[in-house]
Structure 1
Amino acid sequence: MMNIILHGSLTTLDEQILDIEDDSSLEIRTECQAKEAAKNIFLKVAKPGSQCIFLEDVMRFMHKDEALKTICLFGAETDHDGISRASLKNWGGNT
């Protein structure tokens, strides 16, 4: 998801790994790194000034069915629920 957000393109994981020489950049190893990644994702995906990421925000980066699965991973129960910055940080810190 970070690659899509940062670069605006979708590549497969194997394509991304082939381009990376430093294996340490493939993993988030600390809770601090996870929270920073969550913050960056929120700022890149949510509309400016929004308190949540909504389905339409995620759909800028993927098809609707993939976007629905994604927001459900973060605790949204319906397509009208949003993902708050706090819930995104908590999810990142718990995984």
Structure 2
Amino acid sequence: MSNWRHMMPTTEAYLLDKVLYRLHHNAEDLAAYNADKDAYLARYALPPRLAAMIGGNDVAGLYEAGVNPYLLRAHCIGVRIPEDVSLAALRSLMKEGDDKWLK
């Protein structure tokens, strides 16, 4: 079994995906998150580094951690991260030659 980034999805990727799925597929969860991010994220007993990725809208960090790209996109839309900001974060991860498919 694999996800887009790992041969076997990591526990870290699973936890992040689980939170993002709930957060953006349930209006009550999004309202609770918007009211108090820390309290909402505490429900999941995430390691502080993972909670900081979500709460800090670390698009590049979430992507690198193996978050499902569709859930990451839903998060960016749901918490109103401007598209140019989210794309810039993802582009910051590109290495020499990675842009050949953009041309």
Please tell me the TM-score bracket, short chain as reference.
0.3 to 0.5
Choose between structure 1 and 2: higher helix proportion.
Answer: 2
Choose between structure 1 and 2: higher strand proportion.
Answer: 1
